[in-house]
Structure 1
Amino acid sequence: MKFSVLVANFNNGKFFRDCYQSILSQTYTNWEVIILDDKSTDDSLQIIREIIGGDDRFRIFEHPQNEGVGVIKAKLIELATGDICGFVDPDDAILPKAIENAVAVFRNNPKTVLTYSRLMKCDKDLQHLQPSKSTKQIVNGDPYFFNCPIVVNHFVCFRRNIYLQTEKMNPELRISEDQDLYLKMYEKGNFKFINEINYLYRTHSGGISQNDNKKKSYEYWGKVIWDSMQRRGLKIIHSKKVPEKFNTSEEIFRLLEYQNSYFYRLKKKITAAIFSSSD
């Protein structure tokens, strides 16, 4: 199986060397790297090209204008030639067995369409801070799964041929494009949790999830969830009517408040444990 590492860059060239070295350190060697720059306003492209040199396993593209991560990540998947794809942000890194661990699951589980693992939160210098705690095996085939609260997280890998059978990523999304991808893939097959830390997530002032985009992310995420409700034909959720038109994210998240209850989450934990042990 060929693996495509997909890198969407915007002004993060200064962090790319760690990402680059982590890819070179992979124990699995049948990979390619596709980099698409979203019209960076700094010297990112020059830095990235100098780091890569003449290594033809890396292919670099420059988007003609800045259009946001939804457009860039959708085009990265189109540019990929691998059987399995996985996004790695240019300011993050993956551990040496990350790709090998994912490919092994896909080889052994034909019904698995997406894998995810645990991540380590790091400081701006990629020094470890704390591992993720919320990530765990989810229940597959649940029409009311919306990854809310977030369980599926980096390092996410997926079958490219299955993705191409979906409605594909919404190019209008500038944030929450990952949630859009996860929910569409979830409707096509099983997710498998790899209980290892495979991803190093760098926190810094320029990161999308650490700045003022958090509020905007909430808005986009609500729309992504509503779209999923429509695709799944859901009219009622926990005795509440699903709105026929999207109005606000608050309205959508209110429908899912019951999923935060202790008993609901306990039930899901038990069911997921049973699923995982029988898989």
Structure 2
Amino acid sequence: MKFSILIANYNNGKFFKECYNSILVQEYKNWEAVILDDASTDNSVDVIKNIIGNDERFRFFENDKNSGVGVTKSKLIELANGDICGFVDPDDAITSNAVFSSIKVFEKKKDVVLTYTKFAKCDENLKPIEVPKIVHQVINNNPYFFNCPVNIVHFVCFRKSIYNQTEKMNTVMKIAEDQDLYLKMYEKGKVEFIDETNYLYRLHSGGISQNDNKPTSREYFAKVIFNAMKRRKLKTIHGKPIPEEYTNSKDIYGLLEYQNSFSFRAKKKLIIFAQQIFS
């Protein structure tokens, strides 16, 4: 089973060496790394090409023009030769067992379409600061699951064959394109949490998801959730009607407020426990 490590780069060549080193030490050896540069304006292309050299396990491509993360990640999946794909940002890194831990699940459980792990927030030098507690096993086979609040974050890996059965990556999106992908994969089979901290997430001023764009990100995520509701042909959420057309994020998140109740959270934990016992 081949694993494709997918790397979408834009102006992050200066951080790539740690990402590269983390790939080289993977315990699982049947991998390739596919890198697509989205018309960087710095020296990323030269830096990355110099680092990977003539190693044929690393395949490097460039967009003709800056196309955005949705287009770039979609192209990366198309370029992948692996059975399993997993995104790693060029300014982040993965632990040496990350790929192996994921592959073990996919080999053992044929109904699992996606895996994810815990992640460590790191400083600019990639030194771990904390491991967020938001990540845990989510309920499976539930049309009302929207990964909100977010549980599935990193290191997310998925079967390419199943991805090809979905509507695929939304190339229009510039934010929350990953969450859109996760929900589409979720609809095709089981997702499994690997209780290991296998992803190192670097905090730095140039990080796309770390800039002052939280309101924009929240809006994009609301659209992702709304699209999932429509794709699943849902008419109501907890007794409340779903709008025919997208209006604003407040209306969408308002439909999910019931998830904050103690009774809902308690029931969810029981269901997840039962699914894990009988899986």
**TM-score when scaled to structure 2?**
0.98
Does 2:171 match 1:185?
A: no
Contact 1:137 1:276 in 2 (8 A): no
Quote the residue 1:151 is aligned against: 151
- Structure 2's unaligned 5+ residue stretches are none
The CA distance in 2 between the partners of 1:115 and 1:277, in whole Å, is 18
The CA distance in 2 between the partners of 1:134 and 1:273, in whole Å, is 17
SS at match of 2:155: coil
Does 2:76 match 1:76?
A: yes
**Following TM superposition, by how much is the alpha carbon of 1:121 offset from its aligned partner in structure 2, in angstroms?**
0.7
Quote the residue 2:5 is aligned against: 5
**Following TM superposition, by how much is the alpha carbon of 1:210 offset from its aligned partner in structure 2, in angstroms?**
1.3
Quote the residue 2:267 is aligned against: 267
The CA distance in 2 between the partners of 1:276 and 1:132, in whole Å, is 22
SS at match of 1:156: strand
1:35 partner amino acid: I
**Following TM superposition, by how much is the alpha carbon of 1:24 offset from its aligned partner in structure 2, in angstroms?**
0.3
**Following TM superposition, by how much is the alpha carbon of 1:146 offset from its aligned partner in structure 2, in angstroms?**
0.1
Report sequence identity in percent: 58
The CA distance in 2 between the partners of 1:278 and 1:98, in whole Å, is 26
2:85 partner amino acid: C
Does 2:78 match 1:106?
A: no
Q: How many residues align?
A: 279
The CA distance in 2 between the partners of 1:265 and 1:73, in whole Å, is 34
Contact 1:137 1:273 in 2 (8 A): no
The CA distance in 1 between the partners of 2:260 and 2:200, in whole Å, is 27
Quote the residue 1:254 is aligned against: 254
The CA distance in 1 between the partners of 2:140 and 2:79, in whole Å, is 29
Q: 1:146-178: CA deviations, max 9, x gaps? A: 000001110000000000000001100000001
The CA distance in 1 between the partners of 2:225 and 2:142, in whole Å, is 14
Q: 1:184-233: CA deviations, max 9, x gaps? A: 00000000110011100111111122112222111111111100000100
Quote the residue 1:201 is aligned against: 201
Quote the residue 2:93 is aligned against: 93
**Following TM superposition, by how much is the alpha carbon of 1:238 offset from its aligned partner in structure 2, in angstroms?**
1.0
Quote the residue 1:139 is aligned against: 139
**Following TM superposition, by how much is the alpha carbon of 1:90 offset from its aligned partner in structure 2, in angstroms?**
0.3
The CA distance in 1 between the partners of 2:52 and 2:214, in whole Å, is 32
**Following TM superposition, by how much is the alpha carbon of 1:48 offset from its aligned partner in structure 2, in angstroms?**
0.5
SS at match of 1:155: strand
**Following TM superposition, by how much is the alpha carbon of 1:130 offset from its aligned partner in structure 2, in angstroms?**
0.5
Q: What is the correspondence of 1:226-245 to structure 2 with a 5 Å cutoff?
A: 226-245=226-245
Quote the residue 1:24 is aligned against: 24
Q: What value does the CA root-mean-square deviation take over the aligned residues?
A: 0.8
**Following TM superposition, by how much is the alpha carbon of 1:64 offset from its aligned partner in structure 2, in angstroms?**
0.8
**TM-score when scaled to structure 1?**
0.98
The CA distance in 1 between the partners of 2:261 and 2:177, in whole Å, is 27
1:167 partner amino acid: E
Quote the residue 1:162 is aligned against: 162
